[in-house]
Amino acid sequence: MTTCTATSTKTGTAAAKNLVETAIGAGSFSTLVTAVKAAGLVETLTSPGPFTVFAPTDEAFGKLPKGTVEALLKDIPKLKSILTYHVVAGKVMAADVVKLRSAKTVQGTALSVDASKGVKIGGANVLTTDIETSNGVIHVIDTVLIPA
């Protein structure tokens, strides 16, 4: 069972960096950063926001069927839809997430929230919470979320 941990970067320099800079600096989101760049979402995710990003790790992208990431990098509308499905407008900290049943994404549909056994967002386990940035917050998840 994966539990939600309250890892925070309120102190230090991380909060001075935006969502994209923080993801690059973490070193475990290179596939996500590549996808964000390919989809043309860097400008959006470096804007003032704030945004909440449920960020799949490189390991999460590795769970997708072989060739999926490469195919998505060539299908920009589908890639953009998947990426914006991981983003919620506003800064939603872990203490607020656990009180929700769902969260409306920038993509337009809602993600389910289940805090009964650890925290799950759209079926993905939340691994790390409350990584604060200058324009929002990142919560790390173990699965790439695909909108229905």
Flag whether 147 is in a domain.
no
User: Comparing 102 with 15, which gets the higher pLDDT?
Assistant: 102
* Cα gap 16→36, rounded to integer Å: 20
In what order do the strands lie in the sheet containing 124-133?
87-89, 51-56, 136-141, 124-133, 120-121, 110-114, 102-104
pLDDT of residue 15: 66
Q: Is residue 68 one of the residues assigned to a domain?
A: yes
* Distance between CA atoms of residues 93 and 114, nearest Å: 15
Distance CA 42, CA 111 (A): 22
Residue at 130 is within a domain: yes
Per-residue pLDDT band for 148 (boundaries 50, 70, 90) equals confident
Evaluate whether residue 137 is within a structural domain: yes
Is 20 contained in some domain?
A: yes
Q: Which whole number is the average pLDDT over 16-41?
A: 95
pLDDT bracket for residue 81 (50, 70, 90):
very high
Q: Is the pLDDT of residue 136 over 90?
A: yes
The proportion of the chain whose per-residue pLDDT surpasses 70, expressed as a percent, equals 90
Q: Strand, coil or helix: what is 122?
A: coil
CA distance 130 to 140: 9
Task: Look at the chain and count its residues.
Answer: 148
Q: Is residue 115 a part of any domain in this protein? A: yes
pTM of the model: 0.88
Residue 48 within any structural domain of the chain: yes
Structural domain for 131, as ranges: 14-141
The distance from CA 113 to its chain's CA centroid, rounded to whole angstroms, is 14
- Asked whether the beta carbons of 139 and 129 are under 8 A apart, the reply is yes
Q: How far apart are CA 71 and CA 84, in angstroms?
A: 17
At residue 90, the pLDDT reads 96
Q: What is the CATH number of the domain that holds 130?
A: 2.30.180.10
109 phi and psi, to 5 degrees? -105, 170
Number of folded domains in the chain?
1
Residue 9 is assigned to a structural domain of this protein: no
